[in-house]
Amino acid sequence: MTDNAQTDTSRRRFLGGAATAAAGLIAPGVLLHEVAQARPADQPVTSAVRWGMLVDTSKCANGCTDCVDACAEEHGLTGHGRPETDAQWIRKVNLRDKQTGYTQTLPLLCQHCEHPPCVDVCPTGASFKRADGIVLVDKHICIGCRYCMMACPYKARSFIHETLDDQLPDAPRGKGTVESCTFCVHRVDEGEQPACVEACTGENHNALVFGDMNDPASEISRQLKQYNSRQIRADLELNTGVRYRGI
């Protein structure tokens, strides 16, 4: 089979090179596809999207704080050794049924309500809800009255009790203002997942699903449709953006 041995490999090299080149050209396009799905920076957010999170408490392990740690790292939430005044944007809450003794654990964060009580009570409008459902605090017009903290049914907000000097660019924070989970708005706007979700998924716990609740094709919509889920304090009819399975 000398013919084969003498086969000119130039064509293979060409094809190989072409394929590599093509891959090099297309791959970023494929990877950037998700980014392209994100809203362009010059476009306003719209209510066509409603960001939400589904927590599967059956997959949330007792003692695991991966989501909490990721949040702290993402936003530079370093404590001052004073638990009563240190900020917490997401926390692990342990539940035990008084009647049956059944225990479970779940992450609790800003529930990004459709009708947020914190936004209702804020005198200056610093507490606000974006069109896509993310509830935020405008740190420039927050006067630090803490009325939102009185109004929040989930104790989701923290007040900054001391001077901070190590803030991260994506997480503006400051003494005398109130803050809470932003659903990692800086990441979501870039087409990425919130840090807590990424951490949970990255460790293969998969207890958190984040996505557009208005998009029937999204994973969160699919799961919400398929499985029973609950809102915490559903009696308040706030239509929360964070839903829980298994509570």
Partner 1 sequence: MKQQIQFTEIDGGPRFYSLLGFIGLFVLAGLAAAFYMEHNGHYVTGMTNQIVWGTPHVFAVFLIVAASGALNVASISSVFGKVPYKPLARLSGLLAIALLVGGLMVLVLDLGRPDRLIVAMTKYNFKSIFAWNIFLYTGFMVIVGVYLWMMMERRMNRFTRMSGLFAFIWRLILTTGTGSIFGFLVARQAYDSALMAPMFVIMSFSFGLAIFILVLMAAYKWSDRPLGDAILYRLKNLLGVFIASVLYFVMVYHLTNLYITENHGIERFILLDGGIYTQLFWIVQVLIGSLLPLALLYLPSTGKSRGWIGISCALVILGGLAQMYIIIIGGQAYPLEMFPGKEVSSSFFDGIVNSYSPSLPEVVLGIGGVAIALAAVVVGIRVLRFLPVSLADELVDPHYSTDKAIA
Residue 66 · residue 199 · CB < 8 Å: yes
Residues 17-76 that bind partner 1 (CB under 8 A): none
Termini Cα distance of the chain: 70
CA 47 centroid distance within chain = 18
Residue 128 · residue 121 · CB < 8 Å: no
Residues 94-153 that bind partner 1 (CB under 8 A): 94-99, 108, 117, 119-125, 141-147, 149-153
Q: Which is nearer to partner 1, 157 or 187 (CB)?
A: 157
20-55 in b/e form (b: 16+ CB < 10 A) is: eeeeeeeeeeeeeeeeeeebeeeeebeeebbbbbbb
Q: Which is nearer to partner 1, 53 or 178 (CB)?
A: 178
Residue 201 · residue 60 · CB < 8 Å: no
Reduced to 3 states (helix: H, G, I; strand: E, B; else coil), residue 56 is strand
- Mark 224-243 with x for binding to partner 1 (rule: CB under 8 A) and - for no binding: --------xx--x-------
Q: How far is the CB of 44 from partner 1 (least distance, A)?
A: 20
- Measured distance CA(147)–CA(234) in Å, rounded: 22
**Among 161, 186, 205, 222, which residue sits at the site for partner 1 (rule: CB under 8 A)?**
161
| Alpha-carbon dihedral angle through residues 218, 222, 225, 226, given to the nearest 10 degrees | -170
DSSP state of 111: -
- Only one residue has tokens 């960001």, namely 51
Q: How far is the CB of 82 from partner 1 (least distance, A)?
A: 6
DSSP state of 236: G
If one asks whether residue 162 binds partner 1 (CB under 8 A), the answer comes out as yes
If one asks whether residue 175 binds partner 1 (CB under 8 A), the answer comes out as yes
Residue 200 · residue 65 · CB < 8 Å: no
Kindly state the number of chain residues that form the binding site for partner 1, as judged by CB under 8 A. 55
If one asks whether residue 158 binds partner 1 (CB under 8 A), the answer comes out as yes
Residues 68-97 that bind partner 1 (CB under 8 A): 80, 82-88, 91-97
Q: How far is the CB of 52 from partner 1 (least distance, A)?
A: 19
- Measured distance CA(135)–CA(126) in Å, rounded: 10
Q: Which is nearer to partner 1, 59 or 129 (CB)?
A: 129
Phi, psi of 128 (to 5 degrees): -145, 165
Q: Which is nearer to partner 1, 152 or 188 (CB)?
A: 152
If one asks whether residue 178 binds partner 1 (CB under 8 A), the answer comes out as yes
Q: Which is nearer to partner 1, 49 or 113 (CB)?
A: 113
Q: How far is the CB of 167 from partner 1 (least distance, A)?
A: 15
Could you list the residues that contact partner 1 (CB under 8 A)? 80, 82-88, 91-99, 108, 117, 119-125, 141-147, 149-155, 157-163, 175-178, 232-233, 236, 247
